[in-house]
Copies of this chain bind each other. A is one copy, B any other.
Amino acid sequence: MSHSAWSEKMLQLLRRMNNFYSAGSCRANCFRFQVDGAQVGWIPPHVAPLLARYPQVFSPPQDGVVSLCSSLDSYEKRSEAVDAVLQTQRKEDTFTCLKGWRNERYSVMPKFSDPPLMWMERAATSLFGVRRYGVHINGYTVSDSGEVRMWLARRSATKQTYPGMLDHVAAGGLAAGVGIKHTAVKECEEEACIPAAIAEKVKPVNTISYTYEQDGEVFPESQFVFDLELPLEFKPRVGDGEVQEFYLLPIDEVKELLASDDFKPNCAMVVLDFLIRHSFIEPDSEPSYQEFVAGLHQTL
């Protein structure tokens, strides 16, 4: 693939993963989802009428805003009231996304540094455009001559999302009340059988942020990015069955794969960030360097 074709593929990826910000997205028709007076998400237009059926939980849409009722005045009350609504909808099979119910509680707050206002089932967050946080670990080796190779995973064919696609050596969502590095280390152990003694060396290096709409739902996401230099002789092994195989690939091959449609898209973004931070992409030979960085950090 020519350099300019590769570059255009990366720009397409970044545009797709930020399509909520594009002219013509559902954003103009979304309701701001507010809790305790602060916006915590975006409710797509087809979801709002359904929520209006629960006036003891959601106040009726007004001025483009849907709020949780102010009588729900604590973390527990809000979480349980919304969960009850979602459990009902799950049984009624209203939303496809709820078929992927995970029993994983995600924190809901305006900004990551704010105290959580409630928790919400992971599978439901895209109905409310609530930002999800996760961790991604770039696992790589450096040979004695300095050559860098990256460990990639092939996702299991039975994964609920993006089955069979290329992924990081380990990654996962950040559940309510769980530490960030703790999650990174745990995912390394569970998904790739990386012993704690090695996994503890993960280094936090960045975040990426993006928001896409897909099938009428809204996915604002931020990933905490970690680098983990693995010993040359170490081989990740399939752990909890989320992965079918691991590969150790030279950077040139990783770059080519990034531009294929074989990569889970947000992993491709994290790898793009890795390539930039490790100087495998240089601004003089990559005219879109600045646009790449901007596309990795879109927030409203």
Q: Are B205 and A294 neighbours in the complex by a CB distance under 8 Å?
A: no
A55 within 8 A of B: no
Q: How far is the CB of A18 from chain B (nearest CB, A)?
A: 11
Whether A159 sits at the interface, judged by CB under 8 Å, is: no
Indicate whether A67 reaches chain B with its CB closer than 8 angstroms.
no
Least Cβ distance of A7 to chain B in Å? 9
Min CB gap A270→B, angstroms: 13
Query: For the complex, is A72 an interface residue (Cβ under 8 Å from B)?
Result: no
Q: Is A77 part of the contact surface with B, judged by Cβ < 8 Å?
A: no
Closest to A182 in B: B284
A276 and chain B: residue at smallest CB distance: B206
Tell me the chain A residues, 243-300 only, with Cβ under 8 Å from chain B: 276-279, 281-284, 287-291, 293-294, 296-297, 299
Chain A residues bordering chain B, tally (CB within 8 A)? 34
When C-beta atoms are compared, the residue in chain B nearest to A297 turns out to be B297
Report chain B residues within 8 Å CB of A277. 205-206, 277
Map CB proximity to B onto A133-158 as digits: 1 under 8 Å, 0 otherwise: 10000000000000000000000000
**Given A179-B284, A279-B203, A283-B180, A111 and B291 contact (CB-CB distance below 8 Å):** yes
Is there contact, CB below 8 Å, between A289 and B179? no
Taking a contact as CB atoms under 8 Å apart, the answer to whether B113 and A290 are in contact is yes
A209 beta carbon closer than 8 Å to chain B: yes
Contacts of A288 in B (CB 8 A): 113
A133 to B207, CA, bound (A): 23
Q: Which 8 A-B pairs have the closest CB atoms?
A: A297-B297, A113-B287, A112-B290, A203-B279, A207-B293, A180-B283, A294-B299, A113-B288
